[in-house]
């Protein structure tokens, strides 16, 4: 298990932390929880050293994002198909190859040595020699020629950009092959940390040692580098700024909220848009609901720290579960529904492996159910905004059109689908998403 600290808590390395977390995930070709089932999983405690924890998290995100590329390289350097390589050995190799190809902090010889030791620590001593040989080959030899980008764009997207065939086929259908590849390349970028400042806050108010703040092209937003979690948490608690991408940050403005309105935040999550709405109210109130206690715990904490009293929070999934004493009709409704996350794959790397028809059909049913649940809760003359962080028409325009067919008392005012930015400049960066504005007659 490794060394122990003074409090008798096992000290876990960045690599072991990454392996434990990756082993727990459901990823293509990798059965989950194999180490736990075999009783050889490293401690679930993250590294105590912030630098090691940051490295571990970087490896987790990087291996997830570049998984198909790493598997392609593994098969090449091993000179055998992945089916003939033990899944735990594959995971150890993927971490090693990711470090060799994408990171420079650890020398190649140390990467190989640590991978061999890691295999032995997790009960795979029999694979240590094989892992050593594959990684040493990867340090000496160049990568194989990639699939031809123009001739075989789907092969290139999968082997080099780690986008599965079903996802790439959807993108080609939406954008054509050239822009589909640009979309994939966007997903493989390291997305910048962007914050929205609260009313009356200026860039100077974000001054913090070691943190650079630069203006974003969208007013009221700033690019923060590095985006340190403690700094972002401090800004959120003080009501100075909150992390938010430009695309979702623009949604609330289309609700046309007035100071006295009563607003339903239908899928409030951690409350990012809840605080945007609350900032526009004086005598108005917000009912925020979400089925996740984990997300709501964070929202309640921030509401308490900032002494905000006009937001009531409910751990529920459907309107019928609201307490009988609670407001049930609203001037404005935000239905920021769960989705495939196809517009935010740069920030949600795992989601690229769940863009098949079955997965999307499942989330579409939930979207319809939530949207339908809002139908009778909006006052006549009121306004509902339906939004997703997806780019697929099935989750966006089609859901809205079918809702209006079922409810002719609703009229579509506006709808906008935004693609992720293909520009690498952080000042112009944005994720993809969609919103539709409807009014009730």
Task: Quickly list DSSP for 340-385.
Answer: --TT-TTT-GGGGGS-SHHHHHHHHHHHHHHHHHHGGGEEEEEEEE
For the chain, what percent of residues have pLDDT higher than 70?
Answer: 97
Q: What is the pLDDT of residues 89-114, one digit of tens each?
A: 999 999 999 999 999 888 999 999 99
Contact 380, 351 (CB under 8 A): no
Residue 130: how many other CB atoms lie within 10 Å: 18
Question: Mean pLDDT throughout 278-295?
Answer: 96
> For position 303, what pLDDT does the model report?
97
Q: What is the pLDDT of residues 191-244, one digit of tens each?
A: 999 999 999 999 899 988 889 999 999 999 999 999 988 999 999 999 999 999
7 falls in which pLDDT band (50, 70, 90)?
A: very low
To the nearest 10 degrees (0 to 180), the angle between helices 50-65 and 14-24 is 40
Q: What 3-state DSSP class applies to 199?
A: coil
CA distance 340 to 302: 27
The answer on pLDDT for 9 being more than 50 is no
The answer on pLDDT for 44 being more than 80 is no
Question: Mean pLDDT throughout 319-343?
Answer: 94
Which pair of tokens denotes residue 137?
């080959």
124 falls in which pLDDT band (50, 70, 90)?
A: very high
The answer on pLDDT for 441 being more than 60 is yes
Question: Mean pLDDT throughout 30-39?
Answer: 90
Which pair of tokens denotes residue 64?
């997830």
Mean pLDDT is highest, among 13-17, 153-157, 319-323, for 153-157
The answer on pLDDT for 368 being more than 50 is yes
CA distance 119 to 335: 47
Name 189's Cβ contacts closer than 8 Å, sequence gap at least 6.
346, 424
381 falls in which pLDDT band (50, 70, 90)?
A: very high
The whole model's pTM is what?
0.92
23 falls in which pLDDT band (50, 70, 90)?
A: very high
> For position 10, what pLDDT does the model report?
55
Eight-class DSSP state of 332 = E
Question: Mean pLDDT throughout 287-309?
Answer: 96
369 falls in which pLDDT band (50, 70, 90)?
A: very high
> For position 11, what pLDDT does the model report?
65
Question: Mean pLDDT throughout 132-145?
Answer: 97
The answer on pLDDT for 38 being more than 90 is no
Q: What is the pLDDT of residues 175-185, one digit of tens each?
A: 999 999 999 99
> For position 40, what pLDDT does the model report?
83
To the nearest 10 degrees (0 to 180), the angle between helices 87-102 and 14-24 is 130
8 falls in which pLDDT band (50, 70, 90)?
A: very low
Which pair of tokens denotes residue 348?
């949600």
Which pair of tokens denotes residue 402?
């079918």
> For position 55, what pLDDT does the model report?
93
Question: The tokens 């709405």 sit on which residue?
Answer: 277
Higher-pLDDT residue of 393, 424? 393
154 falls in which pLDDT band (50, 70, 90)?
A: very high
Name 12's Cβ contacts closer than 8 Å, sequence gap at least 6.
2, 20, 42, 43, 45, 46, 47
Instruction: Kindly provide the b/e burial profile for residues 246-275, where b requires at least 16 CB atoms within 10 angstroms of the residue's own CB.
Output: bbbbbbbebbebeeebbbbbbbbbbbbbbb
Please report the DSSP string for 31-96 in residue order: -SSHHHHHT-PPPSSPPSSHHHHHHHHHHHHHHHHTHHHHHHHHHHHHTS-GGGS-HHHHHHHHHH
> For position 43, what pLDDT does the model report?
74
Name 325's Cβ contacts closer than 8 Å, sequence gap at least 6.
none
CA distance 274 to 267: 10
Strand partners, 10: 4
């Amino acid at each position: 298990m490794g060394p122990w600290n003074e409090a008798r808590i096992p000290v876990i390395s960045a690599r072991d932390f990454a392996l434990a977390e990756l082993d727990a995930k459901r990823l293509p070709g990798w059965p989950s929880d194999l180490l736990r089932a075999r009783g050889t999983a490293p401690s679930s405690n993250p590294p105590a050293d912030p630098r090691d924890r940051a490295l571990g998290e970087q490896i987790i995100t990087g291996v997830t994002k570049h998984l198909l590329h790493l598997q392609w390289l593994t098969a090449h350097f091993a000179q055998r198909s992945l089916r003939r390589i033990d899944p735990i050995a594959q995971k150890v190799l993927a971490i090693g190859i990711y470090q060799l190809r994408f990171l420079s902090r650890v020398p190649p010889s140390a990467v190989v040595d640590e991978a061999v030791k890691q295999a032995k620590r997790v009960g795979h001593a029999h694979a240590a020699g094989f892992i050593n040989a594959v990684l040493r080959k990867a340090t000496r030899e160049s990568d194989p020629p990639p699939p031809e980008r123009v001739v075989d764009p789907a092969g290139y997207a999968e082997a080099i950009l780690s986008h599965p065939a079903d996802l790439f086929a959807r993108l080609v259908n939406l954008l054509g092959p050239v822009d589909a590849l640009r979309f994939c390349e966007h997903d493989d970028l390291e997305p910048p940390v962007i914050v929205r400042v609260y009313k009356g806050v200026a860039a100077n108010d974000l001054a913090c040692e070691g943190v650079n703040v630069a203006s974003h092209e969208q007013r009221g937003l700033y690019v923060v580098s590095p985006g340190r979690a403690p700094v972002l948490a401090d800004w959120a608690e003080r009501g100075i700024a909150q992390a938010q991408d430009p695309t979702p940050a623009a949604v609330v403005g289309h609700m046309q909220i007035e100071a006295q309105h009563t607003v339903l935040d239908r899928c409030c999550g951690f409350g990012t848009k809840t605080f945007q709405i609350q900032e526009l109210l004086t005598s108005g109130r917000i009912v925020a609901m979400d089925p996740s206690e984990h997300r709501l715990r964070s929202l309640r904490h921030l509401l308490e720290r900032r002494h905000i009293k006009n937001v009531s929070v409910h751990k529920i999934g459907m309107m019928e579960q609201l307490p009988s004493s609670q407001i049930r009709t609203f001037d404005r409704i935000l239905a920021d529904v769960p989705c495939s996350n196809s517009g935010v794959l740069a920030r949600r790397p795992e989601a690229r492996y769940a863009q098949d028809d079955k997965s999307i059909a499942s989330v579409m049913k939930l979207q319809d159910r939530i949207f339908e649940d809002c139908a009778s809760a909006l006052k006549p003359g009121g306004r509902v905004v339906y939004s997703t962080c997806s780019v697929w028409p099935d989750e966006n325009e089609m859901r809205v059109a079918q809702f209006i067919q079922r409810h002719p008392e609703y009229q579509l005012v506006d709808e906008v689908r935004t693609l992720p930015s293909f520009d690498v400049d952080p000042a112009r960066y944005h994720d993809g998403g969609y919103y539709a504005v409807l009014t009730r007659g």
